Amino acid sequence: MAKKGHKYIFVIGGVMSGVGKGVATASIGKVLQANGYKVNLVKVDPYLNVDAGTMNPTEHGETFVLRSGLETDQDMGNYERFLNRDLPEENYVTSGMVYSEVIKRERNLEYDGECVEAIPHVRDEIIRRFQKAASVNGSEISVIEIGGTVGDFQNAMFIEAARVMRAKHPDNVLFIMVTYLPIPSKVGEMKTKPTQNAIRQLNAYGVQPTIVIGRSEEVIDARRKGKIAEQCNIKPDHVISAPDIESIYDVPMNFERDNVSGVVLKELKLKKKKKAGMQKWNAFVRKVHNPKREVNIAVVGKYFDTGDFVLSDAYISVIEAVKFSSYTQGVKPNLAWLNSKDFETGKKKLAALKKYDGVIVPGGFGKTGIEGKIKVIKYIRENKIPYLGLCYGMQLAIVEYARNVAGIKKATTRETDENAERQVISIMEDQKEKLHNKDYGGTMRLGAYPAYLKRGTIARNAYKKELVEERHRHRYEVNPEYVKRLEEAGMVFSGVSPDKKLMEIVELPKSKHPFFLGTQFHPEFQARPLSPHPLFTEFIKATLKRQ
């Protein structure tokens, strides 16, 4: 069980979604960590999906893969990046996990013939999961973000579980509401009423928030803080102003201006500890605000458009990884989102790629847009533009090279046609069976696997070590039958699995191309502000050289 006196902070959204509850949660974690506490960050997703692996990235954003292999919400990525450490899979909770566990137990007669109900059985399974998450990594404080907004049907059971925890241990549990204060353009004034109503709605669940974090375009003034305080029984200095800012990495310091950590520690009756401080974090943030140069990077993918909007959420870890490696080198990255389909239809000309200092083809699935990506890769290979291929981006670089350099004209990936003659990217036997049985959820090659790096390669020189561990999420693999032929044509497999069967990194020698590298894994999942990823860093260096 969790350490005695473990503290729980529940973060609940009010008014509307999409106002940065995840970043707020990560930032609360960060400032408590800076105060010397061992912090645990937990995300609750109230949907019935068991994990985030089966969801469409255009709708839901990126699937973030934990070290253990659990496929989670992109907020978990922010949590790891802010805390600068790996989080265990117990820190991700969905309704799907909760209900399937309860139903499994019922089928196994583990409820001793009782009628199995939402209360107490589902509620208690939620509490059990919160306590488990608190216990696995020796932490002292758990900050638990409950997804959705107060008033949703789906998250009510989680709020109820939190309420019961507070009723039992009033000194150990605290609620924070993250709300939104609109400034309607015709009115021209910040309005607090939606926030008041959201807090009252939470009150109707029997929960009183101790702290209210008010997101808005502007700083919340004393008068409005006073209004929320008076109407909703909150101390005025417990209303924290969270105005729009340039970088999410500014948020922890911004919160501290309103003394968030001081209030939390006092309310939870926690003693002041020797501070861990935020010097390194602040040094990074200063670099974000003072770049000396800029680079232009194109990301060629397909999960961009929803209606008339371009959505880059599907690649959030890639974007952040680029930022960490750029800003730490004093560089601001300008990212352009190019839809690979446009290169297929000819809507976009390949020559348009010339103006970029580097190109990334990130992960992806299925047939759509892949011929466009292959065209793009051919062009940047021939024109010596730095290239970083992530997962599908590596597989397609191999298809392109096989077709256009190794002379395997019909080369393709099995993913597009399982009967194709020349599958340079194929599938492992166990995966064939899974696909055949429609056993899709959580069955890819997932999570951390080791790879050995060949001496004298870009990869080995970047990592500066022989053995690395990176996170995966894929079904398909480089077909071992073609490895020799590709090597003879000039490709270097610089990272391989310990049994030498799986190709994990491919690159072209510097004599052939200034920087052309693809990874079967997703290096972006381990890139952090305070430890940028070496492969992204090498890529950015190459883009600077091209300038």
Binding positions for ligand GLN, rule: CB under 6 A = 363-365, 391-392, 395, 415, 473-476
CB of 49 to ligand GLN, least distance (A): 18
Question: Quick one: three-class SS letters along 272-337?
Answer: CCCCCCCHHHHHHHHHHHCCCEEEEEEEEECCCEECCEECCHHHHHHHHHHHHHHHCCCEEEEEEE
| Residue among 275 and 367 whose Cβ is closer to ligand GLN | 367
Which one is catalytic: 391, 400, 477, 513? 391
- 19 and 13 in contact (C-beta within 8 Å)? yes
**CA–CA gap between residue 371 and residue 242 (Å, rounded):** 44
Determine the Cα angle at 503 with ends 499 and 506, to 5°: 145
Nearer to ligand GLN, 356 or 392 (CB): 392
CB 415 to ligand GLN: min, Å: 5
For residue 246, CA distances in Å to 243, 250, 279, 531 come to 10, 8, 20, 21
Q: Which is nearer to ligand GLN, 31 or 506 (CB)?
A: 506
Is 391 among the residues known to form the active site? yes
Residue 345 CB, shortest distance to ligand GLN, in Å, is 22
Per DSSP bridges, beta strands 503-507 and 516-519 are antiparallel
Structure tokens at 68: 């253990």
Considering the complex, state which of residue 473 and residue 533 has its C-beta at the smaller distance from ligand GLN.
473
- Nearest approach in angstroms of CB 500 to ligand GLN is 19
The dihedral of CA 321, 503, 476, 508: what is its sign?
positive
**Are 212 and 232 spatial neighbours (Cβ–Cβ below 8 Å)?**
yes
Of 92 and 392, which has the nearer Cβ to ligand GLN?
392
- Provide the token pair at 467: 């053995």
With respect to ligand GLN, which residue has the nearer C-beta, 315 or 343?
315
Task: Give least dist CB 121 to ligand GLN, A.
Answer: 37
Note if 115 is an active site residue: no
Q: Let me know if 507 is a catalytic residue.
A: no
DSSP conformational letter for 47: S
Catalytic entry in 6, 238, 513, 522: 522
Q: How far is the CA of 406 from the CAs of 397, 402, 432, 482, 491, in angstroms?
A: 12, 5, 27, 10, 9
Instruction: Give the shortest CB-110-to-ligand GLN separation in angstroms.
Output: 37
Q: What amino acid positions are annotated as catalytic residues?
A: 391, 522, 524
